[in-house]
A = this chain, B = another copy of it.
Amino acid sequence: MSLMRTIFYLSDSTGLTAETLGRSLVEQFPDLQIREKIIPFISDISSAQAAVKEIQLAAQNDGQPPILFSTLVDNDLRDIIAQSPGILLDFVETFIGRLEVELKMESSNKIGHRHDSESYEKYMARMEALNYALRNDDGSTIQDYDQADIILIGASRTGKTPTCLYLAMHFGILAANYPLTPDDLENTRLPEPLKSHKAKLFGLHITAERLQKIRQERRPNSTYASLSQCQFEVRQTEALFRDQKIPFTTTTDRSVEELASTILHHSKVNRRL
């Protein structure tokens, strides 16, 4: 029997939640070969019926039933999907009943926009944070550090920019970043512009080998990308973090989501969204 399965992520909204949870479940079966298909915005009978057709087709092609991960809220739409030949793992209905019992309340069973909708206030907070991150990227300005929630520091190419943008986008955090240059790293003192903001600093660290690999793509065969230079900067950066008692975390092999969550968890920064 073939191990290939088609996995459907079905949602009345973006499908991101169904996809993230569904994929983490599927990844518990490393030998499984999968084809993935996201069907977002299933919000009426005709889009539900169109999804059923796709599921039927995949079932025929694979010779076995697709796996369906669903966050559909509306009972009628769910009933349509349930008539397809897929194996339905329902991330909403499975828990709503239990919550109704526990909370002694009835659920609204409404699609609404839920977490995906955005108020004007939330939009503006997010925009403010994104603009702050863009304005305060890579030490480009330092006069706005009073407003910063957090200032990421680290050597060039340690992941400061994407992490700041993620913190802004997802949590509305005002995140600046300041690059530690080779000059800064001649000793383990804090660069002048950072001294009065010590409580806001958070360090990003990386292995010299990974840093070398990243820099090599940017400026091949430069001193900047040499292993000895990367080793020097990495060693000195860590010494600075330790001497100055600045919390830090490694970025090697870690996604920006994981970095942002780690920073939130290990700093006193509060989410604004």
A29 and B261 form a contact (CB under 8 A): no
A89-B95, A103-B5, A257-B16 known; A73+B165 contact, CB < 8 A? no
Contact A31 B89 (CB under 8 A): no
Residue from B95, B117, B253 in contact with A118 in the complex, judged by beta carbons closer than 8 Å = B253
Query: Counting CB contacts under 8 A, is A195 at the interface?
Result: no
Find chain B residues with CB under 8 A from A53 CB: none
Contact A116 B25 (CB under 8 A): no
CA distance A253 to B119 in the complex (A): 6
Scoring A residues 1 to 30 as 1 if CB is less than 8 Å from chain B, else 0, what string do you get?
A: 000010000000111110011011111111
Q: What residues of B have a CB within 8 angstroms of the CB of A261 in the complex?
A: 13-16, 40-41
**A residues adjacent to B (C-beta < 8 A):** 5, 13-17, 20-21, 23-32, 40-41, 65, 67, 71, 73, 87, 89, 91-92, 94-96, 98-99, 102-103, 105, 107-110, 112-120, 122-124, 126-127, 130, 134, 159, 161-162, 165-166, 169, 210, 213-214, 217, 253-258, 260-262, 265
Lowest 9 A-B CB distances belong to which pairs? A14-B261, A118-B255, A28-B107, A116-B258, A17-B20, A17-B21, A89-B95, A29-B105, A24-B114
